[in-house]
Amino acid sequence: MAQKVPTPKQIQQTLLKYRQGLSKDYDILLSHLGNPLLPDDDLLQYLQGLRSSIAEMDKKVETLIGVVLKIEWTSRGTTLVQEYQNFLLNLVSAHTYYLKAILHMIVLHFYPVIRIPEGEEPEIDEETRNQINIQSLHLHTLLQSVTQIVPMAPKVLLTLVGDMFPYFIKPAFVQQTYVQNLIHIALYMHGYRQPILELIIDKMTRLDEGVTSRTEQKLPLEAVKLDILMEVMLIYVHDTCYSKEQLDWEVTKKMYKELLVIFEKILLPTYASCHVQFVIFYISSFKEALSEGFLDYLWKKVQDPNTQVLFRQAAVAYMASFLARAKFISISTLKAVLDLMVSWVHTYIHQTADLATEVEIRVHSAFYAVCQAIFYVLAFRHKDLLETKDGLQFCRRLNLQTIVMCRLNPLKYCIPAVINTFTCVARQHQLAFCETIIEKNKRNRLPTAGDGGVSHSVSVDSLPNTFFPFDPYLLPRSSAYIYPLYKEYDGNVLPDDEDLENQEEDHYMDVDITLCGSIEKTVISLSPSQKIVKSPLTSSFTDLMMYGVSPGFKHA
């Protein structure tokens, strides 16, 4: 026999009796509300009865509220969903101390309500996705109303969504659904979009850093998850900035500024991120003013002596990689930035002419970083530069010979792969002649500062900027948004076989080459047989300029 639902008056009396120490009817009420098979019509009457007794629901009946919050309501009928929402809104309006519990319930529902075994990546059919989308809309309708009623709700919510962010072991669909819900919040909590995006990008960066090594020819699960999240983020950035395929400039500027703040806080200090930084790469492609603004921001970091050296090095690495890889960078911008960097280097050489000694690698690390950026960009983009009308004259005006011949000896402290390629380019076009200096450097051990005059080899790790953050993007799903904008290395100048064969063993680096989380153990030597290396993940060839410079390259 079905249990008769108590009237609103009876529910009120039950609560009053409980406050007087009589808990029998109260316990029965909890039992009935906690029944997952309770029909919609009965639950609707319970909620209506409870709503009439909101004034009685202080902290003494928090067990009752806890039971109500455990009800699975998002998949119920429309009338019941609305009544449930109304009850909670009345409750939090009258008793704000239930705010955190209500928000916790909402965020908990950001996890899709489907059974997914740990460690598996199930196929989610279209019907299930549609159901989850409907449930998400119910959650956000409630959440938006709560944030309007209680001013402190957004701050409490931000803490909760950070604390409850899915662990990386959770399936990709769980990660995706949770992040999509966070992005949905940013649509109506406009003042909190930046911290929400900061949270997402921070979590993605940690996932990017944590991609594990695999020998299989497929992506590890961590990379699959990151690929999906990158696609979600890139779609969101595009859809926010574009309306009917027209760029909304004011909206785009605001989004760009927020992402730039996040970049400075999270990505610029991060060494091991391989893919997440492409979010700023992507938005910078929307308009030339954005890409120029990004370069201007980075250059100010490089020039600022009050900025920590590591950040200055990272900033110039971003500049070099951005100039080399972004198809949307105009030749005029490329020339202008090269002019800035070269002028800075020449000024630095002039100002330190009487003081500089090449053993002071740490003192001059910003200088070496900028020199390496110049060599890298010229090695990468020389063909584009020389195809312009005055390209050769422009390159000769850079006076590269003075740079390579200076007492600070930048050729000695830059990545061998960059120097080798730059040397060939410079020799072919008579921009500089580096071979004599390189041979001299080979004969001398590299000293480290503060070693009391004892010579030691400088490890590759101590060289300036041993990474370029926009190295090839190899996440297949999200790459559809990147590769139309991305320039791969088109090397028509390679080191002579004889030059390669004469390299010292010190130039051989035993490294883990990270390709979307699939890692091959390789000895990198620029021998004739290894000018081009085939990727284990794609049918295309990786480029020479990728050697030894990716943030995913870890020295053994």
Split at pLDDT 50, 70, 90, the class of 442 is confident
Strand partners of residue 514? 519
Residue 492: partners with Cβ closer than 8 Å, 6 or more residues away: 383
The per-residue pLDDT of the chain, averaged, comes to 82
Residue-wise pLDDT for 367-402, tens only, equals 999 999 999 999 999 999 999 889 999 999 999 999
Closest to 284 (Cα-Cα) out of 255, 317, 244: 255
**Angle, CA 83 vertex, CA 79 and CA 86 arms, to 5°:** 140
pTM of the model: 0.83
Closest to 403 (Cα-Cα) out of 465, 349, 354: 349
Split at pLDDT 50, 70, 90, the class of 427 is very high
Check whether 115 has a pLDDT greater than 50.
Answer: yes
Split at pLDDT 50, 70, 90, the class of 516 is very low
Residue 304: partners with Cβ closer than 8 Å, 6 or more residues away: 312
Compute the distance between CA of residue 14 and CA of residue 172 in angstroms, rounded to an integer: 46
Radius of gyration of the chain (CA): 30
Amino acid symbol at 337: V
Compute the distance between CA of residue 2 and CA of residue 49 in angstroms, rounded to an integer: 18
